[in-house]
Amino acid sequence: MLIASPKKLPSSGMILAEKIDGRRDLIKRLEEWLEELIREAYDGEIRLEEGFDGWITLTPDEEIIRSAIELQVRMSPIASGRPPYPARVLELTESKIIVEYPSPERKTITKSFPTRSFAATLGYSHDRPKDFLNLVGIFEGAPVSLAAGSPSRVQLRLLSEQVLRGLDRMVILRATAREVEEALASRRLRNLIAHHEPLTLLAHMLYVRLGADLEKAYERAREELEKISRSIVVKPLPWKELDEALKLEKSF
């Protein structure tokens, strides 16, 4: 059974590179989803709370719980002492990208990189690197996977799959997988979405069906998710603009 505790968690807790960002009910919602996820594999007590610098902490730090979480997501949200590091984008401008992530030692690490070189690691070296990163789902508040000061192989594979699918996409932040699935169960939305992929526990990517209108899918997703919480973020990522950016890059 998952129990939200107001007490300070012990240092042995699992630190997640996730924050509630002002959504006060998110801890409870995440607890409910995790309880369902590990019910058959783990029968001990689990506690979740907002810990140091706002990072969510989960107790206990058990391998079976780690494995269950990591099997559900593309980017492990668990703080790591070695790369790839799960991070969040704090700021993104044309000149720099600033990210933050928690360490197992309970410190928040903040790093800054040139936006142009960050985008170049993902295969884009032309003008407007900020716009390119936005088009692949790297924007302020979104998760990113890092290794050696650059996007990791996890991030590169995710971009590769976006390109191969050739579909419009949407990124959702501050929502659990269950909440996204609830929204997708709506008759107004389910026939517009081809694929739902959790990036982390609280960040998700939706692929819009070929031929479906991105604006319509975005409006309906936003409306359905706002019924759950107005703090949930939905950001549309049009394939046409990403395709044009990639074609421009190939022309040079």
Q: Are residues 34 and 96 in the same domain?
A: no
Evaluate whether residue 78 is within a structural domain.
Answer: no
- Tell me the two tokens of residue 155: 């991030």
Give the C-alpha separation, 174 to 231, whole Å: 7
Name the residue range of residue 36's domain: 2-70
The count of domains in the chain is 2
Domain end among 44, 70, 96 = 70
More confident residue, 195 or 47: 195
Instruction: Specify whether 52 is located in the same domain as 135.
Output: no
Answer with the one of 12, 46, 70 that is the final residue of a domain. 70
Q: Are residues 52 and 93 in the same domain?
A: no
Q: What is the band of 249 on the pLDDT scale with cuts at 50, 70, 90?
A: low
Q: What is the pLDDT of residue 148?
A: 83
Predicted confidence at residue 166, as pLDDT, reads: 95
Give the 3-state secondary structure percentages of the chain, helix then strand then coil, rounded to 5: 35, 30, 35
Q: In sequence order, which residues have a C-beta less than 8 Å from that of residue 159 and are 6 or more positions away? A: 122, 123, 136, 151
Same domain? For 162 and 231 the reply is: yes
Q: Which of 67, 59, 71 is nearest to 31 (CA)?
A: 59
How confident is the model over 174-188, as pLDDT tens digits?
Answer: 999 999 999 999 999
Let me know the angle formed at the C-alpha of 171 by 101 and 138, rounded to the nearest 5 degrees. 45
pLDDT at residue 45 is higher than 90:
no
- Residue at 76 is within a domain: no
Burial class (CB in 10 A: 0-12, 13-18, 19+), 105: exposed
**Is residue 80 included in any domain, yes or no?**
no
Write down the pLDDT at residue 9: 37
Return d(Cα 241, Cα 92) in angstroms, integer.
Answer: 19
Structure tokens at 33: 């989803």
Cα–Cα distance, 115 to 195 (Å, whole number):
29
pTM of the predicted protein model: 0.91
Report the distance separating Cα 205 and Cα 171, nearest Å.
5
Task: Identify the three-state secondary structure at position 189.
Answer: helix
* Cα–Cα distance, 26 to 202 (Å, whole number): 9
Same domain, 9 and 97: no
Q: Does any domain span residue 128?
A: yes
Arithmetic mean of pLDDT, 106-117: 96
